């Protein structure tokens, strides 16, 4: 079983057949001239998936298989951060070890096939609330993606963020506001932020200039005990009106979890940031390591591992932060 990340190249229709090259962790020093023309078999860990693939391409590998470094019920779903020139697949630790101990050692060939879908469709759902008086108001966007990955039910990623955004829409529908409020429920986030990108690039210049902030909710309700911090992910790692407002709100309302400003993309806030709109991704992670929950992108991403208390905490933090902006 294999998962193909967004950005992977396709194989020929008959698939890619080649010998395996044990590229260990995929660092530059893990490759030799023998990697050329082979499929690089790489373990997860220490460097990013994007770097692993780039090093394999540089070494002349014709494809990449990345296997997990921990036992999970489903295959690894790597995020490679953009398009690449070779086909890439994610597999489980068990599959990776089996390939190493059998196929690679015996210098056998493997075949894997990647087909690009060209007619798939997705949807965005947009809800807007405008002040009763005036026009050309500043806009505050609350976003959450509602898709998940194959084999993962998606309770945390991202029914948690979607549910909090829906609840905020319900609560804020009757509050007096002085700025425009938009709820952006984006599809196709997991295959390259396509839904949010589609939404943002269709904003007019006037709408972008009026866009004050984007609060992006993603994986805010995990019950994983190690995820004690709410990370405020900024694409450039810099504070902005969203992170500043959240920090001020947390101090004012007594948010129990630590808030950590962190440099990270990989969610729909990237689309807003690239358009010049201040954006922050709210997500739960483990302090110091920034690790995500072990259920991430696996069949164990179920409601059993969702915390009602943490959903409430995220809703109160983001809701109070948003309202402090739209009521002015």
- Nearest CA-CA partner of 282 in 223, 221, 241, 325: 221
Q: What is the pTM of this model?
A: 0.84
- Whole-angstrom Cα distance, residue 34 to residue 322? 55
pLDDT at position 151 is 79
* pLDDT recorded at residue 207: 98
Domains of the chain: 16-112 (3.50.30.30), 125-326 (3.40.630.10)
SS (H, E, C) 269-306: HHHHHHCCCCEEEEEEECCCCCCCCCCCCCCCCCHHHE
Note the pLDDT of residue 312.
98
What pLDDT does 159 receive? 98
Neighbouring residues of 244: CB distance < 8 A, sequence distance ≥ 6: none
CA gap 162, 266 in Å, rounded: 17
Q: How far apart (Å, rounded) are the C-alpha atoms in residues 233 and 260?
A: 8
Per-residue pLDDT of the chain (328 residues; tens, 9 = 90+): 888 888 899 999 999 999 999 999 999 999 999 999 999 999 999 899 999 999 999 999 999 999 999 887 778 888 887 889 999 999 999 999 999 999 888 889 999 999 887 778 999 999 999 999 999 999 999 999 999 988 789 999 999 999 999 999 999 998 999 999 999 999 999 888 999 999 999 999 999 999 999 999 999 999 999 999 999 999 999 999 999 999 999 999 999 999 999 999 989 999 999 999 999 999 999 999 999 998 888 888 999 999 999 999 999 999 999 999 999 7
pLDDT of residue 117: 76
Backbone angles phi, psi at 324, to 5 degrees: -65, -20
Joined together, the tokens standing for residue 175 give: 């509050």
pLDDT at 70: 87
Calpha distance 1→274 (Å, rounded): 35
Determine the Cα–Cα distance for residues 150 and 5; give it in Å rounded to an integer. 11
* Residue 314, helix vs strand vs coil: helix
65: CB partners within 8 A, 6+ apart: 2, 20, 39, 40, 41, 42, 88, 89, 90, 91, 96, 99, 112
Tokens read off for 317: 């933090």
Task: Give the residue from 120, 111, 56 showing the smallest Cα distance to 84.
Answer: 56
**What is the DSSP annotation of 161-207?**
HHHHHHHHHHHHTSS--SSEEEEEEES--TTTSHHHHHHHHTS-HHH
Integer angstrom CA distances of residue 215 from 21, 132, 321: 43, 23, 9
């Amino acid at each position: 079983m294999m998962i193909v990340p967004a950005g992977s190249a396709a194989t020929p229709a008959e698939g890619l057949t080649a010998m395996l090259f044990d590229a260990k962790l995929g660092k530059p020093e893990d490759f030799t001239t023998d990697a050329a023309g082979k499929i690089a078999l790489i373990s997860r860990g220490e460097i990013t998936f994007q770097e692993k693939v780039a090093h394999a391409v540089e070494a002349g590998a014709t494809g990449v298989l990345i296997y997990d470094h921990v036992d999970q019920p489903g295959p690894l779903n790597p995020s490679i951060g953009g398009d690449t020139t070779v086909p890439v697949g994610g597999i489980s630790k068990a599959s990776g070890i089996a390939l190493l101990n059998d196929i690679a050692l015996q210098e056998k060939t493997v075949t894997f096939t990647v087909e690009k879908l060209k007619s798939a469709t997705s949807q965005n759902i947009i809800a807007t609330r405008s002040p009763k008086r005036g026009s050309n108001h500043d806009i505050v966007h609350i976003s959450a993606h509602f898709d998940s990955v194959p084999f993962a039910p998606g309770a945390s990623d991202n029914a948690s963020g979607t549910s909090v955004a829906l609840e905020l829409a319900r609560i804020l529908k009757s509050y007096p506001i002085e700025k425009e409020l938009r709820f952006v429920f984006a599809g196709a986030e997991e295959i390259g932020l396509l839904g949010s990108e589609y939404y943002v690039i269709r904003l007019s210049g006037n709408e972008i200039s009026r866009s004050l902030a984007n609060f992006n909710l993603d994986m805010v309700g995990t019950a994983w005990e190690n995820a004690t911090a709410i990370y405020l992910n900024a694409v450039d790692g810099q504070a902005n009106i969203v992170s500043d407002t959240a920090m001020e709100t947390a101090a004012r309302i007594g948010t129990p979890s630590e808030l950590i400003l962190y440099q990270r993309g990989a969610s729909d806030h990237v689309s807003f940031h690239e358009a010049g709109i201040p954006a922050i991704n709210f997500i739960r992670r483990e302090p110091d390591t920034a690790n995500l929950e072990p259920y991430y992108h696996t069949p164990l991403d179920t409601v059993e591992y969702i915390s009602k208390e943490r959903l409430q905490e995220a809703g109160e933090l983001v809701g109070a932060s948003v309202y402090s902006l739209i009521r002015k």
